[in-house]
Amino acid sequence: MRLGRCLLPLEDVDWWRRERRWEGLRAKGIDVEWGEFVFGVLAGMVFHAVLRDAVAKGAPCSLATLDEVPLRTVSDAVNDRACWMLLAGVPTAFTDEAVEKAVLTIRLCAYSTRQPALRLFYLAQHVPRALGTITARTSAPDPTCADLRRWAGLDTR
């Protein structure tokens, strides 16, 4: 989940992006602080899903495997599957109560209709936009999750 929560600070290098995102959240009736937190958890679930996809293809379940995943693949994962599909394999209990509450919110919205589902879709569609903004700033031809971790200061190697 930490990797998912690093997207917005990396995107917010341009201050106006944050203001525009906040306006969009408010327009959708989403509390800004909670919406950004749920976005980070949702983005973390996307990273978890692409790691599971790599493991299903025979790769070991490790940070090294996630590091090799291109950010384009992460972005495509959001567009290629419904939000409820991201819930597969996500734990049902967490040590962080706020993360658990966010996952429960995502779960409820994913199986809901109308406004809750539209709000979740809005948050989910921001994942590829954030990744696109972040990767546009680099000269790397095909940045990976390892690059994202390094940019976010999460690379502990």
Contact 102, 37 (CB under 8 A): yes
Helices (H), 28-114: 32-56, 63-68, 71-80, 97-110
Average pLDDT rounded to a whole number, residues 22-42: 94
d(CA 1, CA 37): 10
For range 22-48, the mean pLDDT: 93
Strand partners, 144: 70
Sign of the alpha-carbon dihedral angle for 91, 69, 55, 81? positive
Tens-place pLDDT, residues 60-88 = 999 999 999 999 999 888 888 888 888 88
pTM: 0.87
Q: Each residue of 109-152: pLDDT tens digit?
A: 888 888 888 898 889 888 889 998 998 888 888 999 999 998 98
Other Cβ atoms closer than 10 A to 30: 19
CA distance 134 to 113: 32
**CA 109, CA 120: separation in Å to the nearest integer?**
6
Q: State both tokens at 70.
A: 């291109």
For residue 157, the surrounding DSSP H or E stretch is none
Beta strand spans in 8-64 (E) = none
